[in-house]
Amino acid sequence: MEKIKVARLGLGSKAPYFTPGLWALRLVSTEAVPTMAVDEGWRLYVNPSFADKLSERELVGVLWHELEHLLRAHHARAREMGVDRRIHRLWNLATDAAINDGAQELGFTLPEGVIYPERLGLEPGGLEEAYYRALLEQGAEDPFQGEGDGLDGGVGAEGEGDGASPPPGAAEPGRSSAATWDHGSRADSLKRPWELPRYHAEHPAVGEVQAAQLREEVARRVLEHHRSRGTLPAGMVRWAEGVVNPVVPWRRVLQGRVREGLRRVQGCARATYERPYRRQAAFGRVLMPGSYDVRPRVAVVIDTSGSVSDRMLAHALAEVDALLRKAGAEVWALAVDAAAAQAQKVRRAHEVVLLGGGGTDMRVGIEAALELRPKVDLVVVLTDGFTPWPAEPPRVPVVAGIFGDPGAPAGAHAVYAVPEVPEFIKAVPIPLHE
């Protein structure tokens, strides 16, 4: 493993912005993997035979490539794209093409036979997801089908290979053919038989929280390097900006949080004697209650303190309308600053009367929402986040839509500068740069 340690030093010297990620890697020497691969725990599996046959420059390039799989969170993106065992090789090809596309501009040397966009008939400069869709549209045919899968322990096709030696006709473990290059679960989220357990004594996995922190630190350093020297590929800068200043699909996330909070009551029914039981005739004189579907009740607590702008309030009203239309709920709106105004049952956003303009305390609004009768099933808080929160979890789920601008200058009201939302409140950042 000395050679790979030297390569790590070389990559850190050539691209110092990668240093936090490089030194977080857990190096694992194993003959079970044909080349090099990474898992979701930031373990780097290295086949010594493969490493020995590479030049120092090639090994630095391969180490950079594997680190890119980790930094770009390809495993999570694969899940979002619905990648499964049947077509995971296409996703691997797409991610390889996207990574290797920047090798020349960064000055990295890669082994012969690796994948570039042109080799797949794709245009340079594209995203992994775009390459993947293009490969699917071409007929979902893997150009290297049958030459190496990796999910069953070896470099052969499914059902072949013993994890150490290749089947007849396949590339040897020390060769760098793209057909046998299996990058592990960090590339496509599918666990390989040779990957270590999460809590391995000698090589414990890096957790998701720490991994996210590593990506953010590397991204921050990439942007600092680019601002000072301006020599990095556009794709790398685009990735770093997306990590440091993410564009959150907040409407979809907020709707999902609302659905999650209402799941326990949606589809439920309540008994009532005001509606006859549909099979009453079978019970004679014994009166049986009928039933009606429960309509979820949602309390929307709207921050109307002096720190909330008219633009934020417009967003709040728009979200009230969205809740009314999409959740099928009975909605009560409460305007809150340091005190809660009287709750208003509303059918459309324009019916909400916004009062306030003083201090900020969303605890008051949440408490007022919980006191409503009949009781509410969910509380949605729309605020800029500069407020105290309850110390204990409320009796019903609470979703907080927090307004801010990820691109705002330091000192401005930005959602990412307000971390004090308790874990039991499901927070959704709502950027205002749209």
| Residue range 171-196, pLDDT digits in tens | 343 444 444 467 777 677 788 888 99
Average pLDDT over the chain reads: 77
Angle made by CA atoms 328, 331, 332, in degrees to the nearest 5: 175
pLDDT tens for each residue of 46-78 = 999 999 999 999 999 999 999 999 999 888 888
Count CA atoms within 13 Å of residue 126 on its CB side: 21
Total H helices, total E strands in the chain: 14, 11
pLDDT tens for each residue of 81-126 = 778 777 788 888 889 999 999 898 899 999 988 889 998 888 888 8
Confidence at residue 266, expressed as pLDDT on a 0 to 100 scale: 54
What is the DSSP-derived secondary structure letter of residue 296? P
User: Can you list the residues of the chain whose pLDDT is less than 50?
Assistant: 140-141, 144, 146-180, 269, 292-293, 406-419, 434
Confidence at residue 1, expressed as pLDDT on a 0 to 100 scale: 79
62 close to 36: Cβ distance less than 8 angstroms: yes
Burial of 291 (0-12, 13-18, 19+ CB in 10 A): middle
Confidence at residue 162, expressed as pLDDT on a 0 to 100 scale: 28
| Dist CA 388 CA 52 (whole Å) | 58
Confidence at residue 21, expressed as pLDDT on a 0 to 100 scale: 94
Can the peptide bond before residue 374 be classed as cis, meaning omega within 30 degrees of 0? yes
15 close to 106: Cβ distance less than 8 angstroms: yes
Count CA atoms within 13 Å of residue 259 on its CB side: 9
Task: Estimate to the nearest angstrom the gap between the alpha carbon of 128 and the chain centroid.
Answer: 15
282 close to 362: Cβ distance less than 8 angstroms: no
Tallying the residues shown for the chain, one arrives at 434
Confidence at residue 168, expressed as pLDDT on a 0 to 100 scale: 29
Name the one residue in this structure whose structure tokens are 């350093």.
221
Residue 419: CB atoms within 10 A of its CB come to: 8
Long-range contacts: 279-285, Cβ < 8 Å, 24+? Answer: none
Q: 303-323: b or e for each residue (b if 16 or more CB lie within 10 Å)?
A: bbbebbeeebbebbbebbbeb
Where does the chain hold its CATH 3.40.50 domain(s)?
Answer: 250-268+295-431
What is the DSSP-derived secondary structure letter of residue 151? T
Q: 119-137: b or e for each residue (b if 16 or more CB lie within 10 Å)?
A: ebebeeebebbebbebbee
Confidence at residue 304, expressed as pLDDT on a 0 to 100 scale: 86
What is the DSSP-derived secondary structure letter of residue 340? B
Confidence at residue 265, expressed as pLDDT on a 0 to 100 scale: 59
| Dist CA 143 CA 423 (whole Å) | 46
| Dist CA 254 CA 315 (whole Å) | 13
Nearest residue to 398 via CA among 383, 386, 413:
383
Task: Estimate to the nearest angstrom the gap between the alpha carbon of 237 and the chain centroid.
Answer: 19
417 close to 391: Cβ distance less than 8 angstroms: no
Task: Estimate to the nearest angstrom the gap between the alpha carbon of 215 and the chain centroid.
Answer: 12
Residue 55: CB atoms within 10 A of its CB come to: 10
> Could you tell me which CATH class the domain 250-268+295-431 is placed in?
alpha beta
319 close to 382: Cβ distance less than 8 angstroms: yes
Confidence at residue 251, expressed as pLDDT on a 0 to 100 scale: 67
The DSSP H or E segment spanning 66 is helix 56-71
Confidence at residue 419, expressed as pLDDT on a 0 to 100 scale: 44
* Collapsed DSSP state (helix, strand, coil) of residue 427: strand
**Phi and psi at residue 380, in whole multiples of 5°?**
-115, 125
| Dist CA 187 CA 89 (whole Å) | 10
